[in-house]
Structure 1
Amino acid sequence: MPVFDTKKELKSFLQKERSKNHTVGLVPTMGALHNGHLSLVKAASKQSDTIVVSIFVNPTQFDKKDDLAKYPRNLAQDIQLLKTVNPEIVVFTPSVEEIYGDNLISESYGFDGLDAVMEGKFRSGHFDGVGTIVELFLKTVAPDKAYFGEKDFQQLQIIRKMVELKQLSTQIIGCPIEREPHGLAMSSRNERLSKATRMEAGFIYSTLQAAKSKFGTESAKDIKDWVTVQFAQNELLELEYFEISEETTLAPIQEKQANKKYRAFIAVYAEDVRLIDNLRLN
């Protein structure tokens, strides 16, 4: 399995691949890989000849240093897991210095308000950090397609906006959420949960499903109030936000319109771990 930790080595390798008329797909990750990541790799493998999986914990998208320090890292295990999917996957594992040099700061983007709600409201500077690292990787790898999970749906929409703003040629592909048997959206952060709390966190998805069933007959305000009550009665889970938003603009729902698609978004604390999820409602 080719593993590179410098941009120069990676670009040299990809140049040879493109000389064979190979298309290139990129799956950006922060490591601690799980079946959700592997589903992205499998999707990429169906559409691209050469697959690059980046493993890089990006410091500029963490608004809390403690969260960055606790983020799980196991490169050797990640590489072994990728080998089970395809031993020809190209792994890019740069250092912070290789990516940022002496300039460890985020670019400031204008995301047309996509970053002003939900995650952006609660995590200052987060999406500027995401946009910065994804732009750097897209310019380094120059993939034909890049694959992202819909668990981070707001992030997906923001990356699409960044590609539009920067006039990059990469096609951004969104892939369905992979879930644990009890419904919890797969996330590297799940590994930090105790067994009991991890099971209880399936309550997040069951609540989203109930909200979806209510969406056809009840108002958004009533649904939001109901969700708030459900979490107030749960001793292990603390609701940070629940929002119903229009899917394209991410604007909170004002009045339901038949020609628009809506999605429920949620963020919850379980122990000291922050979990997010979303579900299309119509």
Structure 2
Amino acid sequence: MREISLDRLRTLVAVTDRGSFADAARALHLAPPTVSLHIAELEDRVGAPLLLRKRGHVGPTSIGELLVERARRLLTDAEQALDDIQRQVEGLEGRARLGASTGVIAHLLPQALEVLRKHHPAIDIQIAVLTSQETLSRLVDGTLDVGLVALPQPPVAGLVIKPWRRDPVMAFVPAHWRCPARVTPEWLAAQPLILNDTTTRLSRLTAEWFATGGHHPAPRIQLNYNDAIKSLVAAGYGAALLPHEATTPLPDSRIVMRPLRPALWRRLGIAHRAGHVERSTQHVLDVLWDLRLA
């Protein structure tokens, strides 16, 4: 069964609205024979007359009125669909799916979301809390658009992974403890510890840091939620090693931060698929990139 083209429906609506084949041809920038052909093809497809010609005026038949009514809705929907798609192509609307760890989501990502809300309010940011490996896997299979991942990472075919920022890892210690000005692996290994769980890159970094002093301490508890870890430190349950971004609020007064000796850094990268990047995704990447020095 042959389909009805939108061009033919647009011609039918124009003739009905103007009551004239000639006026419809001028409005649509078509030759009059083309308008006649469009109507003839529609009538052939429907199997019934759609227009009545009398006394110099053209009007729809009852079947024609029904088709014109449906045609208006179809044409409106088609124009709206094209407008919506164009807005997404231009980056005025759209969706960006982002994966990140809880540590990044806690303080860094909200800063980016605030900027995006102000300048690109019609972009829907969908966030998934994932490990770096989960984020990279989902970028590869196309279910994420942007990932914030721990570095270093081996090259992944089809992905671009760029260094984003470097933040110092600090010792978070209960304020009532007596602790040195710079915390060493030897001192911290002798304290009750609250550490990130072993699925995280930070866990591997801190294990390597302790190992520089020949220590392999067992923590009292392992978590993957930095704010919960800080709450436990504030309660005096133990000390922790956590990254500290420059824009992060100072910790609870029951916590003191101390630099490490030797120093330790958490490095993060921005990952996305290689090749064409949709404008909405590019806006997210641009805003995140501006946070690399924050």
TM, length-normalised to structure 2: 0.29
Structure number with larger C-alpha Rg: 2
Q: With CA pairs under 8 Å and 6+ residues apart, which has the higher RCO, 1 or 2? A: 2
